[in-house]
Each structure stands twice: as C-alpha cells, then as structure tokens.
Amino acid sequence: MKRLVGASVPLLAALVAFLFGAVMILALGENPLSGLAAIIDGAFGTGDRLAATAVRAVPLLLVGAGITIAFRANVINIGGEGQIIAGALLSTVVALVIPDTPKVLLIPLVILGGLIGGAIWGAIPGALKAYASVNEILSTIMLNIVAIQLMNYLLRGPMIDPIEVDGSRIPQTERLTDNAALPTLIEGTRLHLGVPIAIVAAIIVYVILWRTPLGFKLRAVGHNPDAARAAGISVERNIVKAMAMSGALSGLAGVTLVFGSESLRMVTDGGSAGFTGSAGFNGIVAALFGALHPLWTIPSSFLFGSLLTGATELQRELQIPNALAIALNGLIVLFVVSSDKVRDWLARRLDSSTGQKVDEPPAPDSTPEATPESVA
C-alpha cells in the first residue's frame, strides 16, 4: 500500500503541473486540449519527431544519470551546465587537432575527450568539498559561470571559425570533421548514436551503483560518512570520484550536443543557455523525477524531451510561446520536490489510521532501489 502511494505521487505531481499548464493555456485564450494535442503531435506525431524527441532526451539522460551518482553520494551537483561545456570544449579541441584520424578511432577519442573534460570540471568542486569543506552547491554554480565565460572566450577567440573572424563574429567553431560526427542510425531522421550511448550509460551507472564495490562505497558515503570512514572507506576520495563520474557523464552530454548536431560545430549565443539549452539543469529535473534512479531516469528524460519538442509544435500551431514548456518544467520540479513532503504526510496518515504511529519501525526507503533485486 505504502509502496503504491510512493510510486504514484510523482505521477500525480506531473499531472498537477500539467493542470497548471492547462490553466496557463486557457489564460492565453486557447483550448488546453488542443494544446495537449499539439504537444503530443509535436513530440510523437511522426517518426522524425519521435527521433527528435529521443535526441532531445539524450543530454538530459546523460546529465541525469550523472546526477544520480553524485546525489547518491550526497553531493549536490548543480554543475551540469559547466561540465557539459567543459566536455564539449575538450572533445571539440580533439576533433580540431586531429581531424584526419579515421572515424572508428576519432569518435572514441572525441568521446574520451568529453568524458575527461567533464570529469575535471566535476572533480574540482568535488575536491574542494572533500578537502576544504567548500559547499558544492555554491562551487558548482560558480564553475558553471566560469565555464560559460571560458566557452565565450574560446569560441570568440582561439577556436573561432576562420571565416567568422572578419565576418559577423558569431561565436562558433568551424564545421568539424565528418569523421567525428555521431553516425545517424535511421536514414532520414536525426536519430544518432548518442541515443543508444545514453541508454547504455544509464544502465552502466545502475550497475556501478548497485553491483560494484565502487558504487557500494559511494552509497555508504552518501548515507553515513561517519560509519563509512570508521569502516575504512575514504570519504574524501569517494566524494571526488562521485563528482568526477557525474561530471564525465555531463561531459559526454556535451559531446552529443556538438557531434550529434546538424551543424556539426560548437556554437553559442554568448548567453548561459546558448550552447547547452539548459540541459545541465533539465537533466537534474529528469533525475529527480526519476527518483534519482538511473533506470527510471530513462523514461523520465524521454518525457522531458518530448515536452521540449512538443513545445515547438505548440508554438507553431497555437502561437503559444515555447517558454510554456520551461514553465511546465519548473512546475513539475516544484511539485515533485514538494511531493516528498506529501508522501511523508500520506505515509504518516496511513500509519496512524492503523494505530501504529509510535511503535512501528521507520518505513523502508520507498525509492525504487529498495526493490528485491538489489540484495547488497
């Protein structure tokens, strides 16, 4: 019973958020039902649109899977944006420096570059937290800003597309080598290699967290650093590892944004969301909605991806600004986060109605990892 309540609350939260969205559409003088139809049509209407949705979900899933690692180790990584940028920059440098490397070699090298770039950008706040007690929420947010400015500098200066130097000076690289482009999986759609990579990455994160000694240590540190330390687990080192892994996955998201794009270049508009499209934040949302479980984050990312692509159709058909999708995103976060409170409250109500309010042991964790499949 309690478990059912636990699972249904996030869905309920999403539903309430959509109701708010419906009210907003009404306020704009349109029919919410046709709005919903437009979103669904835009996200799933054709094979092409479905592929676009999957591609939109890729960075969310990669960032989200990374976030689950950090959050499980009780490190609140808000630095997805910066880590995406760091990964994208380093992988772009790789493609710029050795463009003539054969495809089979260059794609793995580019991916490696992205992983390393993101890992470094994550490990810095991890180390600051572990060894200098610097609050990671602040340091990751600050490093987002540093990364954005670094990107702006590099894309306007050393890495700028040569033909832009005397032109309009759009901050972007030249078109990168086709050898580094993520191959398209279905001809005629945008569905590229990034989609299976992201899904496999989420599965690997799940395996690491619940099937390996490394994940065991990360979770032990996250739940109770004192007991972990007394048992001989290095809290500091595992915090850095969690952040490095989390950053690496965001860096990989950066790779998919560059090498999965149609323009095949790294481009920004000078603003904060210009390059990432806020994937570093939306990925956190997807992870939270997925109950911080890498496998649940797969459908959750797809849902948010569909919201993003659907909003484009909403704008085209009903002239409703696609900012509505962003608002909906925010509302869902708000409701999902507060739904923890609702869930606690519901659980207490269920307890007291059976008269067991004090003598009962604490309710077991209602997040999905408490399923019987995870023995250790």
Partner 1 sequence: MSAPVLQMRNITKTFPGVLANDDVSFDVHAGEVHTLLGENGAGKSTLMKILFGLYQQDSGQILLRGETADITSPTDAIEKRVGMVHQHFMLVPTLTVAENVALGLPSDRGLRTDLDAVSKRILSISEQYGLQVDPDVEIWKLSVGERQRVEIIKALYRDAELLVLDEPTAVLTPQEVDDLFVILRQMTANNTGIIFISHKLHEVMELSDRITVLRNGRVTGDTTPAETSRQQLADMMVGREVKLAPDKPVQDLGLVRLKLRGVTVKGDRGTIAVDNVDLDVHAGEILGIAGVSGNGQRELAETIAGLRPAEGGSVQLDSTDLSKANPKQSRAAGLSYVPEERMKDGAVGEFDVSENLLLINHGDKRFLRRGLFNFDAIRTHCQKMVDDFAVKTPSLTTPTSSLSGGNIQKVIMARELESSPAVLVAAQPTRGVDIGAAEYIHSQLVVQRSNGVAIVMISEDLDEVLGLADRIAVMFEGRIVKIVDRENATKKDLGLAMAGAG
- The two structure tokens encoding residue 334: 């708000």
What minimum distance in Å lies between the beta carbon of 368 and partner 1?
14
CB atoms within 10 A of CB 227: 11
**Comparison of 105 and 370: residue with beta carbon closer to partner 1:** 370
Beta bridge partners of 184: 192
**Comparison of 134 and 363: residue with beta carbon closer to partner 1:** 363
CB atoms within 10 A of CB 225: 17
Could you give the CA distance from residue 41 to residue 162 in angstroms, rounded to a whole number? 40
Q: Which of residues 178-207 bind partner 1 (CB under 8 A)?
A: 207
**Comparison of 186 and 370: residue with beta carbon closer to partner 1:** 370
Site membership for partner 1, residue 23 (CB under 8 A)? no
- The two structure tokens encoding residue 92: 């772009």
Beta bridge partners of 339: none
**Comparison of 183 and 213: residue with beta carbon closer to partner 1:** 213
What minimum distance in Å lies between the beta carbon of 371 and partner 1?
10
Which residues are within 8 A (CB) of 313 and not within 5 positions of it... i.e. 6 or more apart? Answer: 38, 39, 41, 42, 43, 45, 49
140: closest CA among 113, 118, 160, 166?
A: 118
**Comparison of 223 and 341: residue with beta carbon closer to partner 1:** 223
What minimum distance in Å lies between the beta carbon of 334 and partner 1?
26
Could you give the CA distance from residue 35 to residue 353 in angstroms, rounded to a whole number? 41
What minimum distance in Å lies between the beta carbon of 230 and partner 1?
5
**Comparison of 104 and 375: residue with beta carbon closer to partner 1:** 375
Q: Which of residues 203-242 bind partner 1 (CB under 8 A)?
A: 207, 211-213, 216-217, 219-220, 223-224, 226-234
**Comparison of 34 and 234: residue with beta carbon closer to partner 1:** 234
Query: Candidates 35-43, 133-141, 243-251, 361-369 — which segment interacts with partner 1 by CB under 8 A?
Result: 361-369
Instruction: Say if CB 158 and CB 276 are below 8 A apart.
Output: no
What minimum distance in Å lies between the beta carbon of 375 and partner 1?
5
**Comparison of 100 and 359: residue with beta carbon closer to partner 1:** 359
Determine the size of the site formed for partner 1 (CB under 8 A).
32
The alpha carbon of 305 is separated from its chain's Cα centroid by a whole number of angstroms, namely 11
What minimum distance in Å lies between the beta carbon of 104 and partner 1?
26
Query: Candidates 7-15, 258-266, 340-348, 350-358 — which segment interacts with partner 1 by CB under 8 A?
Result: 350-358
Which residues are within 8 A (CB) of 114 and not within 5 positions of it... i.e. 6 or more apart? Answer: 87, 88, 90, 91, 251, 252, 254, 255
The alpha carbon of 235 is separated from its chain's Cα centroid by a whole number of angstroms, namely 25
- The two structure tokens encoding residue 337: 């986060």
Mask: binding to partner 1, 65-104, rule CB under 8 A, as x and -?
----------------------------------------
255: closest CA among 75, 141, 94?
A: 94
**Residue of 29, 158, 271, 361 that binds partner 1 (CB under 8 A):** 361
Query: How many CA within 13 A on the CB side of residue 59?
Result: 30
Contacts with partner 1, residue ranges (CB under 8 A)? 207, 211-213, 216-217, 219-220, 223-224, 226-234, 354-356, 358-359, 361-362, 364-365, 370, 372, 375-376
